[in-house]
Structure formats: C-alpha cells, structure tokens
Amino acid sequence: MRLFWELVLTSFHRQLAYRAAILAGLATNFFFGLLRLAVLVALFGDQIAVEGVSKQAAITYTGLAQAMIGFLSLFSWYELMNTIYTGGIASDLLKPMGYFTYWLGQDVGRALAQLIMRGLPIMAAYAIFFGIVTPNSPAQWVAVVISLVLALLVSFSWRFLVNLAAFWYPNALGIGRLAFTLSLFLSGFLMPLRFFPDWFQRICAFTPFPYTINTVVEVYLGVLPRDEVILSLALQLIWAIILMLAGQIVLRAGIRKLVILGG
Amino acid sequence: MIKSLLLYFRLISIQIRSQLHYRFPFLLDLIATGFITLLGFLSLVFVFQRFGHIRGWTLAEVAFLYGLVDSAFGLMDMVFSGFDPQAFGRKVRFGQFDQMMLKPVNLTLQVFSSEFILRRLGRILEGTTIFIISIGLLDMTWTFGKLVYLPVVYFSTVAFFGGLFIIGATVTFWTIESIEVVNIFTYGGTEMMSYPMHIYQDFLRRFFTYIIPAIFINYYPALYFLDKPDPFNMPEYAYLLSPIVGFGILSIALAFWRVGIRHYQSTGT
C-alpha cells in the first residue's frame, strides 16, 4: 500500500512539471465552456427550469463537465498502449506489484494533479463570472467526493481495458478513438443525459459511462432524491468492480499472447 | 506551376497509398473520425426535442450551419494536414523541417504535401450528409444567386480555417512547442460557427466580428440563404464578405508564413 501512495505522489509531481501545458489546457477548457454555456442558455430561452434543472444549474453543469476533462482524461489516454508498442511493458510487468495497481497508482496521481490545477480553477472562474450552484449540505458534499472517487475508478478501469486492445492490433489508436468518442456521448459529457429522450437514457443506463460524469453532476446539482443518490453510488461501485474484473481477464489473455524480443 | 502541381499530386498519392495499406484499421479510423462529430450533432438533435428551438432557429436551420462548417473544416483538415499546428510543431522540434529546407523544392509545397490525412474524409462525409438533410427539411427559396454563392461560401470557409492553421503553424517557428491555445481558434472556431452567432455573449461575438471576423464567413451568408433578418443591423452587403474575409485571412497567413520562414532558426536537433 505504501508503494501505491509513493507511485501516486511521483505521478502527481510529474504532472506539476508541465505547467505551461496545464495552463494551455485550462484556457482551452474554459473557452469551450463559454461556448457550451451559451448554447445551453440559448436553448433554455425564457424557461426557468427544464427536467428539474434550473438555468443556473445548467450553467454549473457546463463548468463541471469541462472541469472533469483533465481529471478523467476524457478525450484520450494511450500511455499504456504505447508501452505495449515500445516494449516498456516488459519492465512494468516485472515490478513488485500488480500491473493494474501500478497503472492505477499513476492515474490517481495524474487525476489529482489535474483536478487541483485544472478542475478547481475552472469552477472558481465559473463561480466568479457566471455564478454556480453548490451542494447545500455537508452530507451532499461527502456524496460528491465519493462519487468523484468512484467515477475515477470506473473511468480508469475502462481506459485500462481499451488500451489492452494493443495486445491484439498493431495499431489500436482507431479503436481507442472510437471508444473514447462513445464514452463522451453516453456519459453525459456533451449534454446532461436528463435532456435526452427517455428511451435513450434507458439505453445509457445499461452501460458504465453515465457512472463517470452524469452521476457526479447529478449528485452535485442535487437533482436526485436521497435514496437515488445511494443507488447511483452503489451502481458506480458495481461498474468499477465489473470493469476491473474484465480488465484482469483480458490482461491475462493478452500477456499469454505477448512475445517480448530481447535486445 | 504545372510542374509543382504534378509533384504535389505525386507526393499526395504516395501518402494516400500508404494510408490505405492497412484497410481494416483505416476503415475504423474513418468511421471514428466521422462519428466524433456526428455524435456531437446527435446530442443536439436529442436536446432539441425538449427545447424546440434555439433563440428562434429550428434544428434544420442550425443543421444548415453545422453541416456546412463541419464539411468545410474536414476538407481543410485533410488538405492542410501538413500545417496542422500540432503536427507541424513536431516537425520543427525533431528537425524534419530543417531537412525540408535542404531540398530544392518550394518549402510551402513541401509542407502542403508532407501530410494528407485521408481519414478526415469521415468528417467531410458526415458534415455533407447533415447539410444535405438540412436542405431537404428546409423550405428554401432557391435563386440563381444563392446557387452560385453556395460553393463560394464553402470554399471561403475552407480558406478561412486553412489560414488559421497556417498562422498556428507559423507561430511554432518562434515558440518551438506547439501552443495549444491555437486550438481555441481552430477547433473552438468550428464549434462556435456551428451555431448562430446571436446566441453568444456580446464580448465573444464582438471578438469574432471585429478581431477575427468569423461572423461573415458563414453566419451572414446563412441569413441570406435562409432569408432571415439581421439582428445586428450590419450593412446589407455583409453576407457578401465571406470570400473577402476567407481568402483575405488565407493571404495574410501565407504572408506571415513567409516572414516566419525568413526568421526561422533551427533548434539544432
């Protein structure tokens, strides 16, 4: 366990080294947030609330979604895939800890750095310029934090799984792009899932994706009754476990296929 | 000129053949590229069912803008692949640009033909499909003028985005690192121009009217094609500015590019 936290810390510090990149990411995320905010506000028009979401909550949603891009590495994450292609995986497999745990530790460090350096500033800017809604009880704040942790677990396990495709394909980038696109759409990143048709929401609920962004957003905005909050958190946990197990099975099959050439 | 063109097509055809070598991954890539923007549009279609319109514009009218911009950006992204600021920044860092300078062929031509990303066809197809469907849904009154002006607007949009790409590439001569902020103008610009400009905050719209005059590229032409009144009381000929702005930006970008080449000092790698 100590080793795990050391990994988290190292990875956290490594992220902080890329200050210029983080600043650029921040500016880009904020600008796109402006555009998304304008679209949602224009759609609302004179309506005060739609599907239990107030205009101010919708504005907050665009901030939250943009703030989570870095935290969950929503658009792309191919680090593991690259080590399979370069052969770096050989030394990673020899490390005195599980392969999944090794990458999880790094991702937790990365995610924490992104949350602090990119997520929080975006929310702060939103609070200053547009005004945001905030959870109104300590219990709700606790639920938000738990939901964020579980969202990271679900998201990481999914990204881990996608990267393993590199064991079977000489260029799995296309598969990766398809996978990331799909998760953007079904996770409620592009639009709050509540605004989608009911039949489509039901389809989404059968996939792990809403349990990354949509759940965090709904818990944060307080649009769910208490027992539904608990149910959502439980579903996040269940999906995290399912994806982790799937990752282990696929990893084992992949390693059996892996041939590492000396030299 | 003709010799350059022949050389260009030769180099591009090599690019295309190598990309088509692995058929299945290419097909996946193609679908994925179209999919990304298609799903963005689909989410808009879904929410329109709840909201009905966006500041007076129907879904079909927004689709007219969205499809046109997406298709034009896709075409630009394919033809100007070599100038993609991120990819070009890498060429400068790793010294590939230095190698180009040693070859006895026009530099601009070399950069143009250094990359031709065929999978962008996915986005072109997606954008064009959305555009055609929107025309089918809209009850437009076509005039001779509109028919002639439509391709002009399309290629002006391509030129406009191409200019932004070249400016972004040129900036890397000085910064070496490709600067991500350029994405705000290229990808941000596409996103922004996919919706009617009157939905944006005043300061944002003013910026894209007077600093980067993107509003004339497709919004004013769209008002003309769709016979919609102008909410900002610009002069009546504003819709005709599209080619002037589009090709104007491209010319300025090419001039800036030439200045950049003259001032370029290698990183030594």
- Per CB-CB distance under 8 Å, the chain A contacts of B89 are none
Average pLDDT over residues A42-48: 93
Q: How confident is the model at residue B269 (pLDDT cuts 50, 70, 90)?
A: low
Do the Cβ atoms of A177 and B36 come within 8 Å?
Answer: yes
- Per CB-CB distance under 8 Å, the chain A contacts of B28 are 174-175, 178
Number of domains in chain B: 1
- Higher pLDDT: A260 or A24? It is A24
Window from A110-124, B70-84, B172-186 with minimum mean pLDDT: B172-186
For residue A197, the chain B residue with the least C-alpha distance is: B46
Q: What is the pLDDT of residues B4-41, one digit of tens each?
A: 889 999 999 998 998 888 888 788 788 878 888 899 89
pTM, to two decimals? 0.91
Do the Cβ atoms of A181 and B39 come within 8 Å?
Answer: yes
What's A49's DSSP letter? E
Burial environment of residue B20 by CB neighbours within 10 A (0 to 12, 13 to 18, 19 or more): exposed
- Higher pLDDT: A174 or B91? It is B91
% of chain B surpassing 70 pLDDT: 98
- Per CB-CB distance under 8 Å, the chain A contacts of B200 are 35, 38
Window from B141-155, B166-180, B227-241 with minimum mean pLDDT: B166-180
Q: What is the pLDDT of residue B26?
A: 84
Do the Cβ atoms of B39 and A175 come within 8 Å?
Answer: no
DSSP string of chain B?
-HHHHHHHHHHHHHHHHHHTSSHHHHHHHHHHHHHHHHHHHHHHHHHHHHH--BTTB-HHHHHHHHHHHHHHHHHHHHHTGGG-HHHHHHHHHTTHHHHHHHSSS-HHHHHHHH---GGGHHHHHHHHHHHHHHHHHS-----HHHHHHHHHHHHHHHHHHHHHHHHHHHHHHHHSSPPTTHHHHHHHHHHHHTS-GGGS-HHHHHIIIIIS-THHHHHHHHHHHTT---TT---GGGGGGHHHHHHHHHHHHHHHHHHHHHH------
Residue B176: is its pLDDT beyond 80?
no
Averaged pLDDT of chain A: 93
Q: ipTM surpassing 0.95, yes or no?
A: no
Query: CA of B91: how far to CAs of A63, A155, A171, in Å?
Result: 35, 33, 22
Q: What is the pLDDT of residues A155-200, one digit of tens each?
A: 999 999 999 999 998 878 888 988 998 999 999 999 999 999 999 9
Note down the domain range covering B77. Answer: 2-263
% of chain A surpassing 90 pLDDT: 79
Average pLDDT over residues A78-91: 90
Average pLDDT over residues A208-212: 97
Residue at B176 is within a domain: yes
Residue A263: is its pLDDT beyond 70?
no
Residue at B269 is within a domain: no
- Per CB-CB distance under 8 Å, the chain B contacts of A181 are 32, 35-36, 39
Average pLDDT over residues B218-240: 94
Residue B267: is its pLDDT beyond 70?
no
* B45 part of contact set with chain A, CB < 8 Å: no
Residue at B268 is within a domain: no
Average pLDDT over residues B52-58: 93
Residue at B38 is within a domain: yes
Do the Cβ atoms of B184 and A31 come within 8 Å?
Answer: yes
Q: What is the pLDDT of residue B93?
A: 85
Residue at B94 is within a domain: yes
Residue at B11 is within a domain: yes
Rounded to 10 deg, the angle between the A138-163 and A55-71 helix axes is 40
Q: What is the pLDDT of residue B208?
A: 92
* B202 part of contact set with chain A, CB < 8 Å: no
